Structure 1
Amino acid sequence: MKATVLALLLGLLLAAPAYADTSSAGGDVHVAQTLGDRELTVTLRRVTGVPGPLHVDLLTHAGSPAGTLRLSITGPGTSEGTAVALGARPGSYGGELQVDAAGRWELAIDDGQRVARIPFVVSEQPVSPPEKAVYLGFLVAGGCLLVAIVVATRARRGWWAMIPVGGAIAGVAVAITGAVLSTTLPLPPQPGAQVDADGVNTTDPYALAQPLTSDYSRQPANLSLSPTSLATQGKSTVTLTLTDGATGRPVDDLMVHDSALMHLIVIGPSGQLWHLHPIRVAPGVFQFPLTAPVAGHYAVSAELARIGGGVQLVRSATGIDASGPSTDTPQATTDVHVTVPEFTAGQPGTIDAHVGDAADLQPWLGMLGHMIAVGPLGPGGAQAAPVWVHAHSMGGDMTGMAMAAGSMGGLMPVNGDSAPDETVAAYGPDVAFTYTFPLPGDYQAWIQVERNYRVETIPLTIHVGPASVAKQGKHSVQARLAGTGTVELDVTPSAGATVTVQAVMPTTGYASGQVPAVATDVDKYRVAGLPLMTPGQWEIITTVRDQSGVDEHVSPVTVTG
């Protein structure tokens, strides 16, 4: 009797519906925030059940003041806030909030002067047919066992009890079959983006659950600043407003892109760089702090991603003008050696930075390093520069962690692996950036890396020469994969030629540096160690240089798992 009751209870428990998202539905969300004097990385740990806890980690950088932040969430349910005390030492500090319903929520981080608001979604986990079979099978088995006991104790003929016992056995068989199938069949279709009658997106993009599957276009966003002029004395709060280019309504459909809702780049008149992550204070309204050390013009641009609109670089038409006495302090440099190649417009080149003497760099915003560049510089400075670059360091010693390049060169988990966060200091000291500058001229650039929880900025100047030699098309090139990261080439004619190879994955924007090919026989070359890091469609770009000029060939290849 006791065994039957336990079986029935087990069946009822297993038949309960699955709520929220699980490890198969999504992962943690990392959002960088510039909250006053603090540069934070806010991590929302995925919710594994509703009602259940939402773990929030706040990672502080070096120089962040100690203090207390108040965390609270608002949404379809109710939740009490919590306080997180930040120490003087940089690192991770955690808090926990209770989520009691699926739906759209908003995390508020209050430092006593300003409030950052981060939207997110807790979704119900769709149940696949095999999972439903498991729940139904155990429920039927438990019910049949209960009936069997009643029949066995009351019926005069004991064989009548075999009928519900047979039903219980069938129910267990169905449950076991469903459990086996649930591990092999694909997940059920995931919910896509929803649009209301006014055309406004009602599915929050910062979900802790499944990614959006709908695809629809989004107009470019318009960016406006207030104020557009300020004094050089003291820190000022600048308000940034995003409106839709078609409707004029506030833009509130930003996706978390490279661990931030928005990457704001501010370039000062004497070469200062600010890479900030404004806090969202209302739909389409963001704020960031700025101290203008010298009088002059400050150019402003924002990199963001809208649902269905892709990554956009939105530049302020006005920028910010500062007036008053100058108190400029040169940006700190570090023990770094940077090698800049002779760039040619339209041709890729790789900048190599050697930071420190140990492998102690930390991933920042999911990448080993960032490079910001503007140019060609003319009389109008950065405000008038036609090219703004935000490139990422790709490959290197992070490729061994099964990472692939993201849409802008960021790192995405492959085969279920999780990307390393800022608490991991085990990379470098070599950081490489591959980029193709489209126009000749002089560019101002900055390399940014994180070490000891401090983002270090290294300024440099890049000269890009004009494209002096046109592509000739006088060579025949055939490329084929010959093992992991190895490509064999047939190049004719090859007498007196220099052959280099570059690997490109068009769907993600990843591009390696140019690797010299080694001649193995007449008209035959071989390249080993190409960072073909993830399965998919790649392009092998072979460049042949000889006295006749430069010839470039593109060979598509497929990398399997």
Structure 2
Amino acid sequence: MNTGLKITAFAAAVAATFGTTYAVGASVDTVGKPVAHTEEHGEKTAKGDPRSRGGDHTPGGLQIAADGYALDLKTPRARAGDRTDLRFRILASDSGRPVTRYAEDHGKELHLIVASRDLTTYRHLHPARAADGTWSTPATLPAAGDYRVFADFRPERAKEKVTLGADLAVTGAYAPAPAPEPSATAKTAGGYEVRLAGALTPGEPGGLTLRVTRRGKPVTDLQPYLGAYGHLVALRSGDLAYLHVHPNGEPGDATTKPGPEVSFTATAPSAGTYRLFLDFRHEGKVRTAAFTVRAGGGEPRHEGTTTGGHGH
């Protein structure tokens, strides 16, 4: 049983003892250890190089403070099924002041990922920033349980991107979900099917290709979304280590076609089970396809699932 499932099982026992609702107290995060944001742009990397900085090989999103910045989550709790305005700030660790100047990445100053610990719920959000540095975005999370919030950004004066993470407790009637099975195919609403080829290899860059079809026909007119034909986020089961990858090529480069295939290069920081979430746009709507793969443990075999709406 992995760490995430142990936590889920414990929470279920607590809920059974004290009632039918699920609630979590204040979250605890590791503070102070530098974090390495792993991000691929299709270029080759040396064997064993997880794109860390300063010799630290810690994957992104595991810490609430790193690289001179801290994530200050103002809404650490929400209720299942209710619309909640998630609010947070990015603080400079040396001064404690909110960061108000960012460099854009794929058309946005900051990308916010929200995922449940059991990896069955996923949201890729783009919050708005107020003049005082407070970010906010509405979100409706369907199920009670433990969630993780990831802020992916690059301050204007920073050379590298930073990914910070904080815990979010979603209260309500708690029903633990089974861990998704390894999968190579995901179906989404609207008749879309996405097939995954390739594998994650611990410590080595590997190719992943996702082929999009609709009702059995290849989709050859994918639309750019945030400057690309697809975005892929990978989360490691258990601790939810964050791996944000980008496709090989981009719209308008004279070589990249708008489907049916979107290819990526990614490096898994370790062996283990990962949940992959592909965002793609077609006919004006962004859709998400989800897969479960094992790095260093064989190819995916079973059918995947859709994550439903994700708040884009």
- How far 1:303 sits from its partner (Å)? 0.9
* CA separation of 1:303 and 1:311: change in aligned 2, threshold 3 A: farther
Kindly provide the CA deviation profile for residues 98-119 of structure 1, in whole angstroms up to 9, marking residues without a partner as x: xxxxxxxxxxxxxxxxxxxxxx
Q: Distance in 2 between matches of 1:306 and 1:465?
A: 35
Which residue, out of 216, 229, 246, partners 1:368?
Answer: 229
CA contact (8 A) 2:84 2:139 kept: yes
> Tell me, which stretches of 5 or more residues in structure 1 are unaligned?
1-217, 379-383, 404-425, 467-561
Does structure 1 residue 463 correspond to structure 2 residue 272? no
What is residue 439 of structure 1 aligned with on the other side? 270
* CA separation of 1:310 and 1:336: change in aligned 2, threshold 3 A: farther
Does structure 1 residue 394 correspond to structure 2 residue 248? yes
What is residue 336 of structure 1 aligned with on the other side? 193
Q: Distance in 2 between matches of 1:352 and 1:438?
A: 19
* CA separation of 1:326 and 1:233: change in aligned 2, threshold 3 A: farther
CA contact (8 A) 2:80 2:144 kept: yes
RMSD: 2.7
Letter in 2 for 1:367: A
What is residue 448 of structure 1 aligned with on the other side? 279
Kindly provide the CA deviation profile for residues 10-32 of structure 1, in whole angstroms up to 9, marking residues without a partner as x: xxxxxxxxxxxxxxxxxxxxxxx
- How far 1:347 sits from its partner (Å)? 2.3
- How far 1:398 sits from its partner (Å)? 5.0
What is residue 262 of structure 1 aligned with on the other side? 110
What is residue 302 of structure 1 aligned with on the other side? 151
Q: Percent identity?
A: 27
> Considering only CA atoms, is the larger Rg found in Structure 1 or Structure 2?
1
Which residue, out of 118, 122, 126, partners 1:273?
Answer: 122
Q: TM-score, normalised by structure 2?
A: 0.63
Q: Write out aligned runs for 1:156-555 (5 A).
A: 220-270=68-118, 271-317=120-166, 319-325=167-173, 332-333=188-189, 334-356=191-213, 357-375=218-236, 377-378=237-238, 384-385=239-240, 387-395=241-249, 399-400=253-254, 427-465=258-296
CA contact (8 A) 1:441 1:465 kept: yes
1:449 alignment partner, SS class? strand
- How far 1:337 sits from its partner (Å)? 3.4
Q: Distance in 1 between matches of 2:122 and 2:146?
A: 13
Q: Distance in 2 between matches of 1:291 and 1:327?
A: 17
Higher relative contact order (CA 8 A, sep 6+): 2
Q: Distance in 1 between matches of 2:145 and 2:271?
A: 26
Q: TM-score, normalised by structure 1?
A: 0.36
Instruction: Count how many residue pairs are aligned between Structure 1 and Structure 2.
Output: 217
Q: Distance in 2 between matches of 1:365 and 1:446?
A: 15
What is residue 180 of structure 2 aligned with on the other side? none
Q: Distance in 2 between matches of 1:366 and 1:256?
A: 12
- How far 1:340 sits from its partner (Å)? 3.2
1:255 alignment partner, SS class? coil
CA contact (8 A) 2:227 2:251 kept: no
Letter in 1 for 2:234: A
Q: Write out aligned runs for 1:106-125 (5 A).
A: none
